[in-house]
């Protein structure tokens, strides 16, 4: 139920973030189409905490460490492009809403 509410609350942003994570596949499990839904569902409620792309990268990294572990998540710097793309989507989302 919670994931459904997050999807509804963030409209297309949820799908955009999910697609970005799937495309970049930071853990190497993107062959499973919905694998990054849990991470998307925990990143989006925290996205408002970020006042910069760097802070968003840290949030994304924290969530991946929480869901997988530090070893599998790798280095935080590996999430630069993901954070950049999600930051752009987020800024478009808040300018429309």
pLDDT (tens digit per residue) in 3-18: 778 777 887 999 999 9
Instruction: Locate 13 and state its tokens.
Output: 């942003």
3-state secondary structure labels for all residues of 56-78: HHHHHHHHHHHHCCHHHHCCHHH
CATH class of the structural domain 2-96: mainly alpha
Write down the pTM of the prediction.
0.91
pLDDT (tens digit per residue) in 35-81: 899 999 999 999 999 999 999 999 999 999 999 999 999 999 999 99
Q: Is the dihedral of CA 60, 89, 25, 53 positive or negative?
A: negative
Q: Which residues of 18-27 are buried (b: 16+ CB within 10 A; e: fewer)?
A: bebbbebebb
Helix, strand, or coil (residue 16): helix
Cα–Cα distance, 91 to 97 (Å, whole number): 10
């Amino acid at each position: 139920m919670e994931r459904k509410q997050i999807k509804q609350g963030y409209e297309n942003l949820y799908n955009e973030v999910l697609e970005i994570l799937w495309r970049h596949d930071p853990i190497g499990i993107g062959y499973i189409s919905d694998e990054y839904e849990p991470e998307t569902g925990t990143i989006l409620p925290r996205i408002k905490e970020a006042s910069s792309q760097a802070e968003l990268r840290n949030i994304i990294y924290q969530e991946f460490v929480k869901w997988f572990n530090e070893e599998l998540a790798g280095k935080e710097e590996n999430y630069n492009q993901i954070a950049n793309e999600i930051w752009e989507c987020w800024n478009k989302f808040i300018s429309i809403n």
